[in-house]
Amino acid sequence: NWNPGEMVDIWAYYNQADSVELFLNERSLGISRKDSLKLHACWRVPFEPGTITAVSYSEGKEFLRRSISTAGEPASLKLTSDRVVLETGGEDLAFVTVEILDEQGNPVPYADNMVTFRLEGPATIAAVDNGSPISHEPFRADYRKAFHGKCLVVIRSGKTAGKIRLTALSESFAQESTLDLETRLVQ
């Protein structure tokens, strides 16, 4: 999110298409073709709230379409795990990404809300992180401040099989978010 009218560079990387067309609020900003010296297309445009859509073309046919929208105010947490089943034994890990979203489900890249975690079942919180190079928060904790709208909680399996529930909450939001995992004995 920027100030209206502020000039911003928009880059589109693509490798399986001949060209890419950029749309701002359904208005075409032109088609760009990459060459062997640059691996991306770039447009310099005045910022305007709304939706940017990049459409790539291969041999004149639409190949892929991706959009991103201006974020509203932070409203909820989204939990996504790299796995939902962990092996018992205390050595398996699940990496859970926590993303802050607005009311429309758009990521909020400027959000820095504090997120607290609660875990039920045969597992422990192994670590938390947010990728910030200047954060002084401990890695071994049950809380983490978001950085660029995200943070991470690492769940370690327990010694026994069972259901696990991770709950994430922030004082800023009325509702908490949950994610169900489980540990299984693998032979």
Residues 115-150 pLDDT 10s: 999 999 999 999 999 999 999 999 999 999 999 999
DSSP letters, 34-48, are: --TT-SEEEEEEE--
Express each pLDDT in 145-176 by its tens digit.
999 999 999 999 999 999 999 999 999 898 99
Region for residue 46 given its phi and psi (left: phi exceeds 0; alpha: psi -120 to 50; beta: otherwise):
beta
Mean pLDDT over 61-73 rounds to 94
Residues 82, 86, 92, 93: is their CA dihedral positive or negative? Answer: positive
All structural domains of the chain with their residue ranges: 7-69, 76-184
On the 0-12 / 13-18 / 19+ scale of CB atoms within 10 A, 157 is: buried
Domain 7-69 has CATH 2.50.20.10: no
CATH of domain 76-184: 2.60.40.10
Express each pLDDT in 23-39 by its tens digit.
999 999 999 987 777 77
